[in-house]
């Protein structure tokens, strides 16, 4: 292995030095401070802590779960210290002024990375959600096709299972789903081994379709953050290598240009520099940091700027073994994986929101109506809040065209005009705004000439 630069840590040995890391954390507890005065229209969050592999993702994940919008970020984790500055707003784009909310942000971040957190980078849970044996966790990957979610939910209903929550992503002709289900009668996890095997077998046949490359997994508990798990599942399924019909249509129309990702080596400082440029959207920072972490890369420095319609991200990375990117194949793989991570959450189609009383078979009935009217679900978020079902679907017709108004009205008549809300009618998207050169676009590109530009972040 190549020698590390002065002051750099070898992250490959961190697992074997767990006790030492705990000692360092106890001696240097994290510090979370919130500044609501320096920025007129946003809240600034400073996070300082002893460094550890995966800590950046932990913080970004908390901010994402709290539904905060990261407008700018500055990242530095050289040596043994981690120091981040996040400029955030609420979902309405306003500064956060509620003191209880601000205190909650501090508490969640500290709990996530503090001395007692003992987090594992591969296993995390959403904020406020503890792993529970009351649910059975189902993971599915396979070939995407129209009506897939309808078939899966119909099978679960026939097996007397109730879907408590679910997320479905589709990308490059592939599909992945993470679902939490309970027994219809008891409301608890399905624990009978024979029944679990029957559920797994039936769902495998559905997801397999005409091919044989489907995967199913059933467990009584699951501590992994569901969105991170979806990224991992699609990465393991190598969706970044496949090109489906959906992407061909998008490329042909030119209406939804994909992300631009580049990877170059900065040999003087022994870094690989990853630059991401794409249209901004919620959770973009989580998706890119999650992918780099799961590919076992460490972000030593970084900057994020989402002021305007486009987002600009710079990451100065090395592999966990301390080496920068050392081959053309590795460089291309990073680019492919980051592009896929960004595209998976891009929501093509019409957004429909369903809010009604929860009942067994609701998801099966709604998706059956979609299928009977010639619609396919490209992404879905299913959740239960008390006795209410709150579901979001992104749909389009089987040919990938816009949903016709008469089809939409027929669906709403059958489901309920007040139950199913339409969030925007499908139109031709506006042409992308031309990128404007900005002196603040890439923070760390200026390090080549002004190496002291980070001094204002503190010691």
Stated pTM of the model: 0.82
Distance, in Å, from the CA atom of 154 to the CA atom of 250, rounded to the nearest integer, reads: 31
Describe the crossing of helices 55-65 and 284-294 by its angle, rounded to 10 degrees.
Answer: 150
With beta carbons less than 8 A apart as the criterion, state whether 289 and 73 touch: no
Are 192 and 396 spatial neighbours (Cβ–Cβ below 8 Å)? no
Q: Where are the domains of the chain?
A: 11-125+260-326+437-457, 136-222+225-241+347-423
d(CA 276, CA 312): 6
DSSP class of 123? B
pLDDT tens-digit map of 124-167 = 434 433 445 688 999 999 999 999 999 999 999 999 999 999 99
- How many H helices and E strands in the chain? 11, 16
**Within 10 Å of residue 102's Cβ, how many Cβ atoms?**
15
Q: For the chain, 459 residues long, give each residue's pLDDT as a single digit of tens.
A: 444 554 455 555 544 455 655 655 566 688 999 999 999 999 999 999 988 889 999 999 999 999 999 999 999 987 778 999 999 999 999 999 999 999 999 999 998 887 766 544 444 434 433 445 688 999 999 999 999 999 999 999 999 999 999 999 999 999 999 999 999 988 888 888 899 999 999 999 888 876 667 888 887 655 678 999 999 999 999 999 865 444 443 433 345 578 999 999 998 889 999 999 999 999 999 999 999 999 999 999 999 999 888 999 999 999 999 999 999 999 999 999 999 999 999 877 899 999 999 998 999 999 999 999 999 999 999 998 888 999 999 999 888 788 898 999 999 999 988 899 998 654 444 444 444 444 334 333 434 333 333 333 343
Distance CA 422, CA 427 (A): 13
Q: How many CB atoms neighbour CB 182 within 10 A?
A: 19
CA distances to 23, 82, 84, 222, 344 from 457, in Å: 25, 11, 8, 38, 34
Q: What pLDDT, in 10s, does the model give residues 48-74?
A: 998 888 999 999 999 999 999 999 999
**CB count in 10 Å sphere of residue 450:** 9
Q: Please say whether the beta carbons of 146 and 371 come within 8 A.
A: yes
* Domain 136-222+225-241+347-423, CATH class in plain words: alpha beta
């Amino acid at each position: 292995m190549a020698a590390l630069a002065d002051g750099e840590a070898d992250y490959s040995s961190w697992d074997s030095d767990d006790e030492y890391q705990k000692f360092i954390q106890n001696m240097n507890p994290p510090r979370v401070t919130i500044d609501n005065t320096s920025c007129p229209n946003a809240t600034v969050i400073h996070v300082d802590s002893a460094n550890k592999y995966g800590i950046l993702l932990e913080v970004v994940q908390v901010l994402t779960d709290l539904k905060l919008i990261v407008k700018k970020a500055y990242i530095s984790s050289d040596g043994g210290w981690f120091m981040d500055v996040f400029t955030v707003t609420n979902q309405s784009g306003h500064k956060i002024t509620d003191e209880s909310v601000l205190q909650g942000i501090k508490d969640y971040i500290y709990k996530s990375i503090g001395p007692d957190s003992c987090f594992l980078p591969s296993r995390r849970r959403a904020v406020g959600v503890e792993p529970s044996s009351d649910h059975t966790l189902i993971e599915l990957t396979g070939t995407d096709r129209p009506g897939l979610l309808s078939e899966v939910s119909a099978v679960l209903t026939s097996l007397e299972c109730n879907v408590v929550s679910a997320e479905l992503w589709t990308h490059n002709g592939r599909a992945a789903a993470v679902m939490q289900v309970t027994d219809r009668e008891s409301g608890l996890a399905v624990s009978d081994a024979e029944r679990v095997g029957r559920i797994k077998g039936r769902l495998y046949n559905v997801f397999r379709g005409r091919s044989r490359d489907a995967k199913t997994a059933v467990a009584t508990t699951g501590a992994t953050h569901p969105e991170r798990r979806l990224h991992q599942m699609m990465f393991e399924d190598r969706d970044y290598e496949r090109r489906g019909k959906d992407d061909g249509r998008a490329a042909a129309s030119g209406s939804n240009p994909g992300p631009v990702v580049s990877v170059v080596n900065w040999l003087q400082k022994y870094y690989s520099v990853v630059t991401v440029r794409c249209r901004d959207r919620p959770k973009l920072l989580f998706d890119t940091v999650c992918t780099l972490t799961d590919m076992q890369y460490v972000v030593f420095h970084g900057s994020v700027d989402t002021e305007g319609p486009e987002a600009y991200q710079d990451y100065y990375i090395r592999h966990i073994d301390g080496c920068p990117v050392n081959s053309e194949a590795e460089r291309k793989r990073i680019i492919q994986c980051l592009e896929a991570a960004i595209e998976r959450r891009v929501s093509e189609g019409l957004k429909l929101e369903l809010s009604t009383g929860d009942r067994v078979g609701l998801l099966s009935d709604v998706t059956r109506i979609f299928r009977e009217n010639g619609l396919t679900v490209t992404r879905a978020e299913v959740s239960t809040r008390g006795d209410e079902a709150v579901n979001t679907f992104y749909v389009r017709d089987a040919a990938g065209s816009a949903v016709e108004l008469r089809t939409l009205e027929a669906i709403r008549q059958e489901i309920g005009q007040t139950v199913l809300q339409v969030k925007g009618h499908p139109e031709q998207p506006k042409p992308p705004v031309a990128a404007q050169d900005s002196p603040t676009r890439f923070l760390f590109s200026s390090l080549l000439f002004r190496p002291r530009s980070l001094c204002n972040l503190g010691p």
